[in-house]
Amino acid sequence: MFRIIVLWFLCCLVLGGATEVDNKTAETLGKLVGVIEETSSKLTEVRGDFEAIENDASKLEDAEALKGQEAELAARLAELKNQFDELATGVGGEDLQTAEEANLDLAEEFHDILRPVARVLKKATEKPREIEMLRARQKRLEEQAKLAKGALERLSRWQDDGVDAIAYARVVELRELWESRQRDADGQLEALGVQMEQQAAEKAPLLQPVSEALGNFFKGRGLNLLKAVVALVGTWFFLRWIWSLLHKLPLVKKQNQGTFGWRLLELGSVIVSAMFAALAALFMLYSSGDWLLLTLFIIFIVGLGWTAKSTIPKTFDQTKMLLNLGPVRKGERLTFEGVPWEVGTIGIYTELRNCRLTGGLIRMSIQRLSTLRSRPHESSEPWFPTNAGDWILLNNALGKVIVQTPEYVKILRMGGARETYLTSDFLGLVPVNLMKSFRVSGVFGIDYSHQKISTTEVPTLFESRLEIALIDLLEDREHLNSVKVEFALAGPSSLDFKVLADFKGDAASRYDKIDRAIQRICVDVCNEQGWIIPFTQVTIHNAGG
């Protein structure tokens, strides 16, 4: 009767226009039915033999052997039936197993959000793992078929005329057993081949199970979580936007926003915004009926509150800074890495600005800011000694500042060479800025033979000639502020005169040329007047001012 039902089932499959794989599956199912019936008959026979000798003490060894054979046949029969069911329905036994939600404890629910990730990974590798298991099983069955074939070849050597009747009867039994095992192995191998073909035919894209699992997650708990996050973030930014609009009201703009009361109000607005954002997320989870996420969120908020309670004493200094009561205050001046900065609005991150520097903005965390000190800033204090484009004296050499940033300052030297200094090192070298005004000074000496006119005629003549020559050199009378020549001292071998020439910053690029011109003009005056220049003449230092 069972065989008739199976054949009818196979006919329905054929009449339904099955594919080539389905036809082969139907043929394999028919073969499996034969193997199942044969194994079932053999099992019934073994059980009958076992019951016959079960209570016979003289045949305990045979009973143990029959018992082991019975267990082996029962397991094989169950495996064959399971294989038939899976091959016929295409549904595995594991797919029918479901977990009862009522048996899950709190720990199980707690990890429920993370389970979709593991399920996605498992689902993504399900097909490759199934194929690998089928290949491993195929290899084992091939080994079993090979063993059965070898055993049958060896048993075929023993003929009726070669051994006694009892031994030959045992050989016949063994031959039947190993023939059955070989048929089982061959049948299962054929079924495995069809299963592997089915797996190859049903192979789906790798991302399909991933997208399906994520889709299921975001239709349930994931969607509730997303709603809560959107409510939290949206409420926070909406309230902060309202607060920023209040800042733009004319009445609010007139207020001194650096006072303690205003800072306290601003800190309170942050706390209120955070509270309303948390309440919005809680309400969204409550309205969704997701008690697990609601409970977890409440536990999270309580944990934050408890943590804040234990960390408030440690962050007391930072809280004072947020209220503009700490060692660093808004609008004051502080020095960081050798560079002066103006303190902006103090918050979780505070902006430090220097208007003289390119890219003169850095953001500093309140933890780092709490280690610094600020002081009130006077309007006369410069934020940096130079500007880009200024001519300076650095290491007693003329140069032009072309770039200055918080990290480095680049100097263009005469002739085109460029030097780069760390900003802190540049300030440490104390550059002399020539852009407002500067002085070029020098010392020039004449022989003692001109002692009578050294304090009257000589300084006046030097001064008039220097003024005329320097104006011609600069091509602009406005660039020269003044020229003075004064008797300096009676040296060991000469009467020395101090030359002091003051210029406006527009002439700074000609500083070196002016320095050399002063000595040249003084020599020209001596040549015109016939004044003697001593051989031990020493030219003194030059200094800008």
pLDDT for 4 equals 41
What's the pLDDT band for 245 if we cut at 50, 70, 90? confident
pLDDT for 40 equals 83
Q: What is the mean pLDDT of residues 164-176?
A: 70
d(CA 228, CA 286): 10
Q: What is the mean pLDDT of residues 76-99?
A: 64
Helix axes 60-89, 20-53, angle to 10 degrees: 160
Q: What is the mean pLDDT of residues 311-316?
A: 65
pLDDT for 184 equals 83
Position 272 pLDDT exceeds 60: yes
pLDDT for 540 equals 46
Long-range CB contacts (within 8 A, 24+) of 416-425: 423/337, 423/338, 423/339, 423/357, 424/337, 424/338, 424/339
Q: What is the mean pLDDT of residues 407-433?
A: 93
The candidate with the shortest Cα–Cα distance to 281, out of 271, 293, 269, is: 293
What is the per-residue pLDDT across 333-362, written as a single tens digit (0 to 9) for each?
A: 999 998 999 998 887 889 999 999 999 999
Percentage of the chain beyond pLDDT 90 is 31
322-375 and 437-529 share one fold: no
Burial class (CB in 10 A: 0-12, 13-18, 19+), 506: middle
Helix (H), strand (E), coil (C) string for 433-497 = ECCCEEEEEEEEEECHHHHHHCCCHHHHHHHHHHHHHHHHHHCCHHHEEEEEEEEEEECCCCEEE
Q: What is the mean pLDDT of residues 182-205?
A: 74
Give the mean pLDDT of the chain: 78
Position 15 pLDDT exceeds 50: no
d(CA 446, CA 455): 12
CA angle 501–507–511, rounded 5-degree value:
65
Give yes or no for a contact between 69 and 46, defined as CB atoms under 8 angstroms apart: yes
Mapped onto helix, strand or coil, the DSSP state of residue 76 is: helix
- Tell me whether strands 495-504 and 391-394 are parallel, antiparallel or unpaired: unpaired
Q: Which of 30-44, 268-282, 467-481 has the lowest mean pLDDT?
A: 30-44
The string over 251-279, giving b where at least 16 C-beta atoms fall within 10 Å of a residue's C-beta and e elsewhere, is: eeeeeebeeeeebeebeeebeebeeebbe
d(CA 253, CA 258): 12
Give yes or no for a contact between 459 and 465, defined as CB atoms under 8 angstroms apart: no
Give yes or no for a contact between 395 and 351, defined as CB atoms under 8 angstroms apart: no
d(CA 271, CA 366): 17
Position 254 pLDDT exceeds 70: no
pLDDT for 313 equals 62
pLDDT for 197 equals 74
pLDDT for 16 equals 46
Q: What is the mean pLDDT of residues 100-116?
A: 55
Mapped onto helix, strand or coil, the DSSP state of residue 514 is: helix
What's the pLDDT band for 311 if we cut at 50, 70, 90? low
What is the per-residue pLDDT across 285-295, written as a single tens digit (0 to 9) for each?
A: 888 777 767 77
What's the pLDDT band for 3 if we cut at 50, 70, 90? very low
What's the pLDDT band for 98 if we cut at 50, 70, 90? very low
The candidate with the shortest Cα–Cα distance to 151, out of 123, 173, 122, is: 173
Q: What is the mean pLDDT of residues 388-412?
A: 94
CATH class of residue range 437-529: alpha beta
d(CA 88, CA 154): 37
Q: What is the mean pLDDT of residues 16-34?
A: 64
Q: Strand locations in 491-540, DSSP E?
A: 495-504
Position 316 pLDDT exceeds 80: no
CATH code reported for the domain at 322-375 = 2.30.30
Position 458 pLDDT exceeds 90: yes
Give yes or no for a contact between 250 and 213, defined as CB atoms under 8 angstroms apart: no
pLDDT for 111 equals 65
501/75: higher pLDDT = 501
Q: Which of 103-107, 213-217, 260-264, 403-407 has the lowest mean pLDDT?
A: 103-107
Position 499 pLDDT exceeds 80: yes
| Structure token digits, residue 444 | 């020039």
The candidate with the shortest Cα–Cα distance to 291, out of 102, 116, 115, 110, is: 110
| Structure token digits, residue 136 | 């491993």
The string over 196-231, giving b where at least 16 C-beta atoms fall within 10 Å of a residue's C-beta and e elsewhere, is: eebeeeeeeeeeebeeebbeebeeebeebbebbeeb
Position 214 pLDDT exceeds 80: no
Tokens 């050798």 correspond to what residue?
A: 338
Q: What is the mean pLDDT of residues 504-527?
A: 93
In this structure, the chain runs to a length of 545
Give yes or no for a contact between 60 and 47, defined as CB atoms under 8 angstroms apart: no
What's the pLDDT band for 126 if we cut at 50, 70, 90? low
Q: What is the mean pLDDT of residues 151-165?
A: 67
Position 164 pLDDT exceeds 70: no
Q: What is the mean pLDDT of residues 365-389?
A: 90
d(CA 359, CA 388): 13
What is the per-residue pLDDT across 296-309, written as a single tens digit (0 to 9) for each?
A: 788 888 877 777 66
- Tell me whether strands 437-446 and 495-504 are parallel, antiparallel or unpaired: antiparallel
> Where are the chain's structural domains?
2-91+107-205, 220-314, 322-375, 391-433, 437-529
Q: How far apart are the first and last CA of the chain?
A: 120
pLDDT for 14 equals 41
396's torsion region: left (phi>0), alpha (psi -120 to 50) or beta? Answer: left
What's the pLDDT band for 108 if we cut at 50, 70, 90? low
pLDDT for 113 equals 52
Helix axes 115-124, 207-219, angle to 10 degrees: 160
The candidate with the shortest Cα–Cα distance to 398, out of 352, 351, 438, is: 438
The candidate with the shortest Cα–Cα distance to 281, out of 236, 221, 231, is: 231
Position 119 pLDDT exceeds 90: no
d(CA 442, CA 166): 137
Position 134 pLDDT exceeds 60: yes
| Structure token digits, residue 400 | 């032009």
What's the pLDDT band for 203 if we cut at 50, 70, 90? low
Give yes or no for a contact between 459 and 485, defined as CB atoms under 8 angstroms apart: yes
Position 1 pLDDT exceeds 50: no
